[in-house]
Amino acid sequence: MYNNGKTRQLRANNGWKKKARGSSRFGGKRGFSGDSINVNRFINKAEPIKPAEVFKPQYSFDDLEIDYKLKQAIKSRGFVDPTPIQEKAIPVVLAGKDVIGLANTGTGKTAAFLIPLLNKILNNPQEKVLIVVPVRELAIQIQEEFRALAQKMGIYSVVVVGGANIHGQVRELRRRHNLVIGTPGRLKDLISRKTLDLSKFNNVVLDEADRMLDMGFINDVKQLLALLKKERQTMLFSATFSREIEKLVKDFLKNPERISLKTRETSNQIDQDIIRIKNEDKIEVLYKLLIQTQFEKVLVFSRTKHGADKLSKKLQQKGLKSDAIHGNKPHNKRQRVLQNFKRNSIDILVATDVAARGLDIPNVSHVINFDIPATYDDYVHRIGRTGRADKAGIALTFVG
């Protein structure tokens, strides 16, 4: 894939090697000192894409004992058979049990909890559901899936996230709703204003739980769980199962059913490599990559918000269709940039780790780590934006 003349020249100029030299380690932030990332972990040859092994579920959505209106909504979405996580999780949630779901991103877990919860609400309109997520983009993504499944059912949801107008969210919370989807900080803010009362909520989903803990939301999550009804159903979904999550499960879940469908850390469809930067201008090296034809839709990761903005502007000045997304960007602008990238109005999205988890961005051809991630887990989640849905992907990491 990288055999054209331009690439050979880049290799010559930039020391782009297929094998790491020695076992260089990098110091710095969380995950580097003591448990540093060896650059060899950023190198992995993708396996040839084989015809996907056809998953044969034990039942179809039609076989589920759920409301007829919900079955029709599932058909309208084009869903016929459940994915592996849906096949395992839906019956457990329908049975009212607590759930721990461990699965790689992009496996259909949103529908795995929304379908049984919608059925629960159809059977009892008094049911209240809280869905807690680490970032606003994931909240909006869940809202979109909910609306597609719940249309014409008279079931409503409210998204409450930071960066958006809180007064509009307060108004929406005063209207009839069964679901609240939110980020920990904004949820706590609304509770302190006495606008949101969690004591009426008897269902809770913690989605991307490991990311919430990584972002320092552990105490916020505990406070939110403590405010819910004692008799409730709790669902926790995560890509990893750390000691902190194990403790959270022990404290807040009751005899949970554990569903583990996580496979390998990184997709075998992603070709991973490093680009060694010595005395070159990093931005110039990146530009020479991006102008190659195979770099069709590229997600570039920057360590800082300022760095993301600066890099995006530099690429724009060089004539590339680029924009940036990070935590300081206003909510509506973040959504606009994300949609522009999804619709191919821009070819290059420069992001901080806010975009690394849980987001469904189709057809990303390349992920480039312009700055080395803080931990190997962050690396895994960053590069997981490519090589999805039986397509090949390429991940490149700049190293010094």
Q: Left if phi > 0, otherwise alpha if psi is -120 to 50, otherwise beta: which for 48? A: beta
User: Do 231 and 301 sit in the same domain of this protein?
Assistant: no
Instruction: Assess if residue 56 is contained within a domain.
Output: no
User: Are 250 and 373 within 8 A, CB to CB?
Assistant: no
Structurally, the chain folds into a number of domains equal to: 2
Whether 175 is covered by a domain: the verdict is yes
Taking Cα atoms as reference points, which of 149, 143, 122, 123 lies closest to residue 131?
143
CB 395 within 8 A of CB 366: yes
Instruction: Determine the pLDDT at residue 32.
Output: 37
**List of residues 6+ apart from 315 with CB closer than 8 A:** 283, 286, 287, 290, 322, 348, 350
Q: Which residue has the tokens 């680490």?
A: 134
The verdict on 128 and 33 lying in the same domain is no
Question: Do 287 and 255 belong to one domain?
Answer: no
The whole-angstrom separation of Cα 129 and Cα 70 is: 17
Q: State which of 260, 286, 309 marks the end of a domain.
A: 260
Residues 6+ apart with CB under 8 A from 268: 46, 47
Greatest CA separation for the chain: 66
Is 121 domain-assigned? yes
Non-local (6+) Cβ contacts of 130 within 8 A are 179, 180, 182, 187, 198, 201, 203, 204, 205, 224, 228
Residues 47, 269 contacting (CB under 8 angstroms): yes
Report yes or no on 347 lying in a domain. Answer: yes
Verify that 184 and 285 share a domain, yes or no. Answer: no
Determine the angle formed by the axes of helices 109-123 and 68-76, rounding to 10 degrees: 150
Using only the alpha carbons of the chain, give its radius of gyration. 22
Backbone φ and ψ for 184, nearest 5 degrees, come out as -55, -45
Same-domain check for residues 214 and 128: yes
Q: What's the pLDDT tens digit per position in 198-231?
A: 999 999 999 999 889 878 899 999 999 999 999 9
Alpha-carbon dihedral sign for residues 16, 21, 27, 29: positive
| Domain co-membership, 229 together with 80 | yes
Question: Is 251 in the same domain as 351?
Answer: no
Q: Are residues 388 and 253 in the same domain?
A: no
Answer yes or no: is 240 within a domain: yes
Residue 54 included in any domain: no
* Domain closes at, from 260, 286, 305: 260
Which pLDDT does position 51 carry in this prediction?
56
Assess whether 178 and 227 both reside in one domain.
Answer: yes
User: Does residue 152 lie in a domain region?
Assistant: yes
DSSP 296-344: -SEEEE-SSHHHHHHHHHHHHHTT--EEEE-TTS-HHHHHHHHHHHHTT
Q: Which range marks the domain in which residue 153 is found?
A: 61-260
Q: Which residues of the chain have pLDDT under 70?
A: 1-36, 48-54, 104-105, 262-267, 355-359, 389
Specify if 133 maps to a domain.
yes
Nearest to 320 by CA among 371, 284, 372, 270: 284
d(CA 39, CA 25): 7
What confidence score (pLDDT) does residue 6 get?
40
Q: Are 181 and 216 in contact (CB under 8 A)?
A: no
Instruction: Please check whether residues 340 and 385 belong to one and the same domain.
Output: yes
Backbone torsion region of residue 317, taken as left when φ is above 0, otherwise alpha when ψ lies between -120 and 50, otherwise beta: alpha
Query: Could you tell me the pTM of the whole model?
Result: 0.70
Q: CATH number, domain at 167?
A: 3.40.50.300
Same domain, 207 and 296: no
The domain boundary residue, chosen from 260, 284, 304 = 260
Shortest CA distance to 311 belongs to which of 294, 327, 328, 323? 323
Residue type, 146: F
Backbone angles phi, psi at 369, to 5 degrees: -90, 90
Both 302 and 159 in a single domain? no
Cα 316 from chain centroid (whole Å): 27
- Alpha-carbon span 299 to 360, nearest angstrom: 13
Length of the chain, in residues: 400
Q: Are 379 and 373 in contact (CB under 8 A)?
A: yes
SS3 278: coil
Residue 350 to residue 345: CA distance in whole angstroms: 14
